[in-house]
Amino acid sequence: MTDQNQIITEFALWHLSLPVNARRDHGIGSVEHAIEIVVLRLGAEGGQYGYGEASPWVVFTGSAEASFAALDRYIRPLVIGRPVGAHPSIMAEAQAAVAHCTEAKAALDTALYDLRARIAGIPVWALLGGRTRDRIPLSCSIADPDFDKDLRLMERLRDDGVRIIKLKAGFRDHAFDILRLERLRKDFPEFDIRVDYNQGLHHDTAMACLRDVAGFRPGFIEQPVKAHLRDLMARLRDAIDVPLLADEAVFGPEDMMPATALGLADGVSVKIMKSGGLARAQTVARMAQSVGMSAYGGDMFESGLAHLAGTHMIAATPEITLGCEFYQASYFLREDILSTPFPVENGQVVVPDAPGLGVDVDPDTLARFSINRSGLAA
C-alpha cells in the first residue's frame, strides 16, 4: 500500500466561537466579541491527521452554520472511505455537490493537503508546486471605531517590525477616514498604507471620496463600491492614479474573466475562503498575472489554522506579490487554536518547513471553544 492509497477513516467537525480583543468595523458590517469558524479534521488509517478551517463571515461569504452543514451532510459522504490520493477527484465532486459554500471547500482542500503532506513527510507548499519565498510581508488592518485604540495598536505594530497597514474605511463618514489618514501619515511615515472600503462607498459620492483619498498616496484602494457595480469600478479606476483592488467582486477563477474584460481593477485580493481552496486560489493569482493584474494575499476573520493554509499557498504562488493580511492570530484573537503561535517575525510571516501545515492544532482548545461538533468518537 502506497502512502497515497491510505483510506480516510475520520471526518470530525467543530463549530467554534473564538473571543476577540476589539471591535472591527468594515464597510459591509462589524465584528465584536467573537468570530465563528468551522474546523475539519480528517484522519487516515495510518494514524495521521489533517486539519482545515472554514472562516465565513455572514455579510461577505456566508454563515458558519452553512459551512458546518455543507461539510457534515453533503461533503462527508464524498470523503469517508476514499484514498487520500483521490484529493483532486474529491474536490471536483464537492464543487458539484454543494453550490457556493466556498469556505467549506477551502476547509476540505486544506485538510486534504495537510493530511497528504503529513503522510508524505513534506510541507504543504511542496504539494502546491514548491516554495518560492520563505517570508511574506504582513499587513495588519486598522478597523477599530475607537481610533485611539488603533493608534496604540500602531505603536505595537511599529515595535514588532510590521510596516504595512490597511485602513478600513467607509463605515462611518468621509471626514473620519480623512482624519485617520492624516494622522497615520503624520505619525507613522514609515508605513505602507492601503485603504479598503469593503464596498462601503455610495455610488453617488465614490468618485469625490477616492480623489481625496488618492492624495494620501495609498499603496492601493480596495473594493470601494458594491461588488456588482463593475462599470463604476472601471470608471473609478480610470479616474484615479492609485491602483484599485477587487475583493468582494472576485471570488474564484470564474469571476476573473468578467473582471478583466471590464478592466475593473489593477489587482485582486486572493483568498482561499473566496476561491474555495488552495489550488483554486493559485489559479486566480495566475489568471491575474496573465492579464497584468497584481495579486494580494487576503483573508477573512480567521484563526492561525487558516492563516497557515494561506501561507503555504502564497509560498508556492510567486504571482502574489503584495504581502498578506494574516494578522488575526497575532493581533485580534484572544486565544488561537494552534499549539504554538502562528509564525511571525519582524513583520513577516515565516513559511513553515515541518510536514503538513507545519504547526499543530491544540485539541483542548477546540473542545473549549466548541459550540457544536460532529463525527467524533463518543
Name the segment binding Mg ion (CB under 5 A); options: 10-18, 50-58, 176-184, 190-198.
190-198
| Closer to Mg ion by Cβ: residue 37 or 143 | 143
| Closer to Mg ion by Cβ: residue 36 or 247 | 247
| Closer to Mg ion by Cβ: residue 273 or 279 | 273
Kind plus residue range of the DSSP H or E element containing 172: none
| Closer to Mg ion by Cβ: residue 104 or 167 | 167
Smallest distance from Mg ion to CB 223, Å? 5
Smallest distance from Mg ion to CB 265, Å? 12
| Closer to Mg ion by Cβ: residue 58 or 120 | 58
Smallest distance from Mg ion to CB 269, Å? 5
The span from the CA of 79 to the CA of 53, in Å, is 16
Side chain identity, residue 37: I
Residue 257, Cβ density class (10 Å: 0-12 exposed, 13-18 middle, ≥19 buried): exposed
Smallest distance from Mg ion to CB 92, Å? 28
| Closer to Mg ion by Cβ: residue 247 or 302 | 247
Smallest distance from Mg ion to CB 273, Å? 12
The b-or-e profile of 32-61 (16+ CB within 10 A means b, else e) is eebbbbbbbbbbbeeebbbbbbbbbbebbb
Quick one: CA dihedral 80, 86, 91, 93, positive or negative?
negative
The answer to whether 196 contacts Mg ion (rule: CB under 5 A) is: yes
E strand intervals along the chain: 8-19, 24-26, 29-31, 34-44, 49-54, 135-137, 139-142, 164-168, 192-196, 221-222, 244-246, 267-270, 294-297, 344-345, 348-350, 370-374
The span from the CA of 150 to the CA of 167, in Å, is 10
| Closer to Mg ion by Cβ: residue 118 or 168 | 168
The answer to whether 36 contacts Mg ion (rule: CB under 5 A) is: no
The span from the CA of 103 to the CA of 98, in Å, is 12
Looking at residues 309 to 348 of the shown chain, list those that interact with Mg ion (rule: CB under 5 A). Answer: none
With CB under 5 A as the rule, give the number of residues binding Mg ion: 3
Letters for 112-151 (x = contact with Mg ion by CB under 5 A, - = none) are ----------------------------------------
Q: Residue 367: CB partners within 8 Å, gap ≥ 6? A: none
Smallest distance from Mg ion to CB 361, Å? 26
Smallest distance from Mg ion to CB 355, Å? 32
E strand intervals along 100-232: 135-137, 139-142, 164-168, 192-196, 221-222
| Closer to Mg ion by Cβ: residue 103 or 196 | 196
| Closer to Mg ion by Cβ: residue 323 or 352 | 323
Name the segment binding Mg ion (CB under 5 A); options: 194-202, 273-281, 317-325, 332-340.
194-202
Q: Which residue is nearest to Mg ion (CB)?
A: 247
Characterize the bridge pairing of strands 267-270 and 294-297. parallel
Cβ neighbours around 113 below 10 Å, total: 27
Smallest distance from Mg ion to CB 356, Å? 28
The span from the CA of 81 to the CA of 130, in Å, is 29
Residue 1, Cβ density class (10 Å: 0-12 exposed, 13-18 middle, ≥19 buried): exposed
Cell 492570530 identifies what position?
329
Smallest distance from Mg ion to CB 197, Å? 8
Helix (H, G, I), strand (E, B) or coil at 320: coil
Name the segment binding Mg ion (CB under 5 A); options: 11-19, 175-183, 191-199, 330-338.
191-199
Smallest distance from Mg ion to CB 198, Å? 5
| Closer to Mg ion by Cβ: residue 113 or 331 | 331
Letters for 232-271 (x = contact with Mg ion by CB under 5 A, - = none) are ---------------x------------------------
Residue 129, Cβ density class (10 Å: 0-12 exposed, 13-18 middle, ≥19 buried): middle
The answer to whether 25 contacts Mg ion (rule: CB under 5 A) is: no
Characterize the bridge pairing of strands 139-142 and 34-44. unpaired
Which residues form the interface with Mg ion (CB under 5 A)?
Answer: 196, 222, 247
